């Protein structure tokens, strides 16, 4: 059975990709991409399709940074035996020189793609972008906010790693928990508007 350390190391590219992307989104660079993905479009209910916070800069940044970090982790795993022993992915089995970049990009894509339906639903429920509801609805959406991207990552990781059932359960719960903790830390250093 995989250890907690192995699961965390496995998730490291997407964790670091998410943190890097939050910094990138806040920096005054690539501002042409800081456009809402929905183009400001409103539906019949008068609410935005996705909202102001879902930008092309954040969407493309997550793909880019997860790809970059997966390449870094792959390199470390190949050249530093203890890291290779910890890795669930056998990076040395990748046959093409840019496999890890491509798979990292897919992983980042899964992360951001699976966040979009949640944003759509929240706009329909009049929950403002970057905010949450109160009460039971708020608790539910706090969980969904953490879990949706983890599910996306799990779907797209099947292109390069097929986990056992036990590993899949661990990846889901560890990934969701880490996502929550990282969001609290990002809120603490003012890179996020709310703690989760």
Q: Is the pLDDT of residue 132 over 80?
A: no
Between helix 56-79 and helix 99-113 the angle, nearest 10°, is: 140
Determine the Cα–Cα distance for residues 173 and 97; give it in Å rounded to an integer. Answer: 32
Neighbouring CB atoms inside 10 A of 64's CB total 18
pLDDT at 121 over 70: yes
pLDDT at residue 32 greater than cutoff 80: yes
Q: pLDDT, tens digit, for every residue of 148-175? A: 999 999 999 999 999 999 999 999 999 9
As a residue count, the chain comes to: 196
**Cβ neighbour number for residue 30 with a 10 Å cutoff:** 13
Please give the model's pTM, rounded to 2 decimal places. Answer: 0.93
Q: State how far the Cα of 72 lies from the Cα of 78, in Å rounded to an integer.
A: 10
Neighbouring residues of 142: CB distance < 8 A, sequence distance ≥ 6? 132, 180, 196
- Which pLDDT band holds residue 24 (cuts at 50, 70, 90)? very high
Task: Quick: pLDDT tens for 65-74.
Answer: 999 999 999 9
Question: How does residue 196 score in pLDDT terms, banded at 50, 70 and 90?
Answer: low
Tokens of 30: 């690539």
């Amino acid at each position: 059975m995989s250890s907690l350390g192995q699961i965390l190391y496995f998730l490291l590219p997407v964790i670091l990709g998410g943190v890097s992307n939050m910094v990138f989104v806040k920096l005054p660079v690539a501002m042409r991409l800081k456009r809402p993905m929905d183009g400001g479009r409103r539906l019949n209910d008068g609410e935005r399709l996705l909202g102001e916070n879902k930008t092309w800069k954040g969407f493309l940044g997550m793909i880019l940074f997860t790809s970059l970090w997966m390449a870094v982790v792959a390199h470390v795993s190949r050249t530093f035996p203890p890291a290779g022993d910890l890795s669930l992915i056998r990076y040395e089995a990748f046959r093409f020189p840019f496999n890890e970049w491509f798979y990292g990009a897919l992983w980042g894509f899964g992360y951001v793609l699976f966040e979009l339906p949640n944003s759509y639903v929240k706009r329909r429920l009049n929950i403002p972008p970057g905010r949450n509801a109160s009460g039971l609805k708020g608790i539910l959406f706090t969980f969904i906010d953490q879990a949706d991207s983890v599910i996306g990552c799990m779907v797209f990781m099947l292109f390069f790693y097929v986990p056992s059932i036990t590993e899949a359960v661990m990846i889901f719960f560890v990934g969701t928990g880490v996502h929550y903790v990282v969001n609290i830390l990002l809120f603490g250093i003012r890179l996020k508007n709310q703690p989760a």
